[in-house]
Each structure stands twice: as structure tokens, then as C-alpha cells.
Chains A and B, each alone.
Chain A
Amino acid sequence: MEQTITQKILARAANRKFVNTGENVWLNVDVLLTHDVCGPPTFDIFNQEFGEGARVWDPEKVVVLPDHYIFTANEHAHRNIDLLRKFAKEQNLPNYYDVGTDRYRGVCHVALAEEGFNLPGTVLFGTDSHTCTSGAFGMFGSGIGNTDAAFILGTGKLWEKVPESMLFTFDGEMPEYLSAKDLILQILGDIGTDGATYRAMEFNGEAIHSLPMEERMTLTNMAIEGGGMNGIIAVDEITEAFVKSKTSKPYEIFTSDPGAAYFSKTRYNASEMEPVVAKPHSPDNRATVQSMKGTKITKSYIGSCTGGKLADFKLAAKILSGQRVSVPTNIVPATVKVARDLETELYNGKSLKSIFEDAGCSIALPSCAACLGGPTDTVGRSVDRDVVVSTTNRNFPGRMGSKQAEVYLASPLTAAASAITGKLTDPRNYL
């Protein structure tokens, strides 16, 4: 029987040759990810259910990356970090990246890639809905809650329903005025925020395989915005080069069989697509930037797991080089490594950092920051009736802080162009 890449990876994890879509299977988990918001309650459930003194199933396979509420005076947030620290110590977890030390990394989904935890063919679960980001590496990544995570911590296993797959093919060449964010917002506008619920979203085509890994991660990151269980892109030379530069661990490459059954197949031609935004208050509320041009904004925000990678800042710098922003603009690198790279990566002979500083942007410390609002003292948090153009992944009511605020999701190119004019602006005006 022919299978999709997602079926094959789940079959491997279930010690089977073949799994049917729709069947519930028990999977052996390769990596469990957690962070400061969901780690402490997960550890609580683990201790309660497996008993004091219980050991996690495999300390090497537990990755704890605090990233959500890091740079805040909120005492409860600090307590959560203390609880992570305590559990990591008790359980001797080698992959704990402590806050306030040189091990601190930043946003977990980007750090997983940097640290070599993303391995083709493996199964990753994480207590964060954007765990699907890792699917860019030809692996299965999916978000779960604390109870499921605690179950994995003790047993190394979890049940999952094998998903049907939706195939999205992008033909043609990627124009310089588009980013992967435009592609995924286009899809979300077509399928809606529940168009892929309980399904895999598989991406392929010439335009996808021309993208660097970080851009592919933007695409798989937002599979959850369509309700997807996972997003996935098959391995190619670009994937292998990235993985081999981070780790020497072995991995297995799976690909979809030519005759595999899909729930749906959709084709796009990247070279004919337009820059788009998702209007308030839903990631599927798509409109072309052209049709929204002139909409006044009060803030621009470039950051997060989906929009705060080096690739995102390279795009933003192309627009902001030699320009001045006219509204407050937050640059929030996802990780410490991205922050460092802003100092060394050059565009037209200038570092990205100095381009952003000269343009009048404020550069924040790496964390999730205002992508999800966070404690009231969080950098970039929306207030009152803010109208924000943001490279993040969600614009539900109140997502970035204020319930009255409006958020337009956009590519780093569009967020940068709009920062200059103070209005939603097509990036082609500056390219």
C-alpha cells in the first residue's frame, strides 16, 4: 500500500510497515519539547501520576527551552523558571537551556533547529501548538497539552490518530517581493482556520524547494493556523546540509509514494502571487496588501518563531536599509543566535543591526515577547486601540495584549515597508 510521508514516519514510530489514515496508533516519541508556560504544570502532572521519585523515560529526549515570559518583572513567571530549573536538576536533564546563563537560547522552535534536535524521519511532540514548525525537516512535529506531555515523560509513548494529508504544491519561481509568510497566508485564506483540522499539510514544488530552511519553517509553523496536526516538507539537499551542520546524529529519509492517497491536492504558481495580509481578527482573513494599502498602523512588529529568524530580518533589512520608520517598530530576534547574527550579517556593507538602529527600530532581547501579549510589562505588547502590522502567526482578539487592538499578519517585507510609511504598504514600492 502506498503512503504519504506523514504515514511512513508514524508507521516507523509505531513499529509498523503501514498505518491507515484514521486509525489510532501508539507512537514511540523521539523528542519531547516543553517551555516555561507548560513545563511546570506538565512536571506537576508527571510527579502526581508517576509518583515522587519517578524518573523521566529518557533524559536525553526531553528538551526544555524557556522562551515565553523571560524578560518581565512578573513574579509568577519567575517562579515558573524556578520550577523548570528544579525539575531539570532532579531529573538530570542535559537539554535544559536555563535563563540568565550562556545556555539560554530563546524561542523553542527556532532553537530546536539550531541545536540539531530536528532530525528527518523522527517524531517530536511539544507542549506548544507551533511544534509543527519542525516538520520543515521531513519529520513529524505536533503540539499537545500538559497531560499528554506528562504521559510521554513517563512512558515515551502517546496515541495519535493517523491524519489524512492535504498536498499544497507551489510551482514557479519565488518572486523577491514574496516570503513564505505570503504563501501560507494565501493557503489559510483558501482553507480557513479549520480547513486542515486533524490533517497533515504537506508542501512541495519548485518554489518550496528553492527556499532556505528558515523560510520553510515559516510555512510549516502556521499549519496549526489551518488546524493542521502537522506541516511537512520532504528532505532535499538544503535540508541535509542544514541538519549535518548542526548534528552528526543519524536520521532516516521518508518520501510520499507517487500513488499515496490525499484528502486534497492544490496547486499554486508562486510567480503569479501577490503580497497578502491576514486582517483582524483571524489568520484566514486574507486580503492583498494592494487592496488594503493606506490602512493606518500604530506599530510594526518583526519577531517570533515564525517571523523572527535571520531569514526574516534579512528580508526586512532589504526594505529598511537607508530608510526611517514612522511608527514604533520592534525587532525581536527569536534566539540569542539570531541576535548575534544581526551584528555580523551584512547588507550593502552594513550590519542588519545597524540598519535597524539607523532606521529608528528598537531591538529587543530574544524571546516570544509580545507575539502572545504576555505579562503587562512585555516589550511591544499592544495597548488600547493599537493597529499592529506583525510578522507573528496569530491575530485573534487580544492575542498581542489589548482586546481592542487590531493585528494585521504580514511578511517581514510588508511589515518593514509599512513601518516606513505608517500605513499598510506593498513592499514592491521599496524593492
Chain B
Amino acid sequence: MESIIQGKAFVLGRNIDTDQIIPAEHLVYSLSDPEEVKLYGKFALSGVPLAQSGLPAGNIPFVQEGSFASDYTIIIAGQNFGCGSSREHAPFALQVAGVKAIIAESYARIFYRNCVDGGFVIPYETAIQLAETVKTGDELKIDIKANTVENLTSGETYQLNALGDVFNIVEAGGIFAYARKENLMAQS
């Protein structure tokens, strides 16, 4: 596991549901065929109404027309990120698009589990309303050991909540890697 995640921020509001992260019409593509998988990157966050896409200005597409990956690697969002359906295609699409971490005020349970157990992206929580201070395009640097995020554009540093119980699963890279390490894969 890397100890630093650095990249451009993409800022969203609250209650970003999984239909906005990956609209249902795209759930038919294979998650294992390398060519089809690219489509999840192309359509990641394509359901977000344009005015709310890339705050505070808005009207910023997450993925450029004709591209299969995003220029942004860290998502900043408000409360209840990933609410709605159980589709694991949502954190998967974000990973395919190039996202490494999300920093939100809170998450919906299934989305959070999927991020962690699938090893797709790291879901950080913070009590600070970063979506109010970070601007889309700001360069951010997450220090995984220190649980901090530094906004290199503004020079400010913020505290993130520790990953707690799930850190070991995140560090292992997902529930299967963790279970192998802990010898939990035996059948009941």
C-alpha cells in the first residue's frame, strides 16, 4: 500500500447516489473484460447533474469527452456519499477512472463496504466540510500514516478520521487478501 496519495481534487455535494456515480443503463458491461471495463471509466460520475459536477464552479465534466479516465484522483464530497443501490460497479467505475481516494463527511454503508472489501478506493471520513473549502482542480496530498490531507494549492492541512477497524482490510487490498492473511477462507 502506498503511503502518499497525491492528485487533483474533484468536488461534489452531498447525497451523491450510485445512480449518479454510474447510471443504471451502463451496468450491463463486463467487469472483467479489459476493453469493456474501460467504459466504466468513461461513464464514471456521468449521472451527476452538470451544474453540480466539479464544485464550486460546476459544469466541469469528471471525464473529458472521448476519454476513458479522469484527470482527478481524489473525490471530495459532503454527507452520505454512495447512497442508493448496492452496485459495486460504482466504486469500481471510480477506480477505473483513476480515483485513488474519496474524502467525504460520511458514506452510505453498502458503498463504504464495497470500497473497502473490494479494495477499489480508500474511503476517508472527516468531520471538516472540505467540500466548502477545497476547489475542483486543487492539488491534494493524503498522508496515509498521519491521516491528513494537505491542499498544496492553498497550503492548508486537514485531519482525516482514522480508518479504524477497516484499516487492516484496506492495507491488505480487500476482504479476500485480508481473509487469506488471517486464514478466514475455510468453508463453514
Task: Give the B-binding residues of A (Cβ under 8 A).
Answer: 24, 26, 28, 37-38, 40-41, 44, 48-49, 57, 68-69, 74, 76-77, 79-80, 126-129, 131, 143-148, 151, 154-157, 159, 161, 193-194, 197-198, 224, 227, 229, 282, 372-376, 394, 396-399, 401, 403
Provide the bound-state CA to CA distance between A74 and B27, in Å. Answer: 12
Q: Which residues does chain A contribute within 8 Å of B29, judged by CB atoms?
A: 76
User: B114 contacts which of A145, A194, A229 (Cβ < 8 Å)?
Assistant: A145
B181 within 8 A of A: no
CB-based contact B20/A151 at 8 Å: no
Return the 9 tightest CB-CB contacts between A and B, nearest first.
A76-B28, A145-B88, A145-B114, A194-B80, A156-B188, A143-B86, A147-B118, A129-B86, A146-B88
**In the assembled complex, how far is the CB of residue B87 from the closest CB belonging to chain A, in whole angstroms?**
7
11 A-B pairs besides A80-B28, A282-B15, A399-B19 with CB distance below 8 A are: A38-B88, A44-B31, A48-B32, A79-B28, A128-B85, A129-B86, A143-B86, A145-B113, A146-B118, A147-B88, A396-B15
Cα of A40 to Cα of B88 in the assembled complex, Å: 12
B172, CB-defined interface residue at 8 Å: no
- Contact A197-B88, Cβ < 8 Å, known A155-B184, A157-B188, A398-B47: no
Contact present for A148 and B113 (CB under 8 Å)? yes
Tell me if B58 counts as interface (CB < 8 A to partner A): no
**Known contacts A49-B176, A374-B25, A398-B47, A194 near B19 by CB under 8 Å:** no
Q: How far is the CA of A126 from the CA of B86 in the complex (A)?
A: 9
A38 touches B87 (CB 8 A): yes
Docked complex: B95-125 residues within 8 A CB-CB of A: 106-110, 113-114, 117-119
Q: Give complex CA distance A2, B113 in Å.
A: 28
Cβ contacts A to B, 27 pairs, < 8 Å? A28-B188, A40-B30, A80-B28, A128-B85, A129-B85, A129-B86, A144-B110, A145-B86, A145-B110, A146-B118, A147-B175, A147-B176, A151-B179, A155-B187, A155-B188, A157-B184, A193-B80, A197-B108, A282-B15, A373-B25, A374-B24, A394-B17, A396-B20, A397-B19, A397-B48, A399-B17, A399-B19
Contact A194 B86 (CB under 8 A): no
Are A194's CB and B85's CB within 8 A? Answer: no
Query: Which of chain B's residues has its CB closest to A26's CB?
Result: B184
Q: Give, as a whole number of angstroms, the nearest-CB distance from A194 to chain B.
A: 4
CA distance A198 to B108 in the complex (A): 8
The reply on B23 being an interface residue by CB < 8 A is: yes
B187 touches A154 (CB 8 A): yes
CA distance A68 to B28 in the complex (A): 10
The answer to whether A394 touches B19 (Cβ under 8 A) is yes
Our pick among B28, B32, B109 for the contact of A197 (Cβ within 8 Å) is B109
CB distance from B39 to the nearest CB of A (A): 10
User: When chains A and B are docked, how far (Å) is the Cα of A376 from the Cα of B89?
Assistant: 19
A74 / chain B contacts, CB cutoff of 8 Å: 28
Taking the nearest CB of chain A, how far is it from the CB of B118, in angstroms? Answer: 4
With A and B bound together, what is the CA distance between A227 and B88 in angstroms?
Answer: 16
Contacts of B175 in A (CB 8 A): 147-148, 151, 159
Cα separation A224 to B49 with both chains bound (whole Å): 23
Determine the distance from Cα of A154 to Cα of B186 in the docked complex, in whole angstroms.
8
Interface contact B25-A144, CB-CB below 8 Å: no
Check B79 for interface membership: any CB of A closer than 8 A.
yes
Q: Does B84 contact A (CB under 8 A)?
A: yes
Distance A159 CA – B169 CA, assembled complex (angstroms): 12
Distance of A404 from chain B, by nearest CB (Å): 9
In the assembled complex, the Cα of A159 lies from the Cα of B88 at a distance in Å of 17
Contact A194 B88 (CB under 8 A): no
Contact B25 A227 (CB under 8 A): no
**B83 at interface, CB cutoff 8 A:** yes
Which of B24, B106, B174, B179 has the most chain A CB within a 10 Å cutoff? B24
- In the assembled complex, the CB of B35 is this many whole angstroms from the nearest CB of chain A, namely 13
Residue of B at shortest CB range from A41?
B31
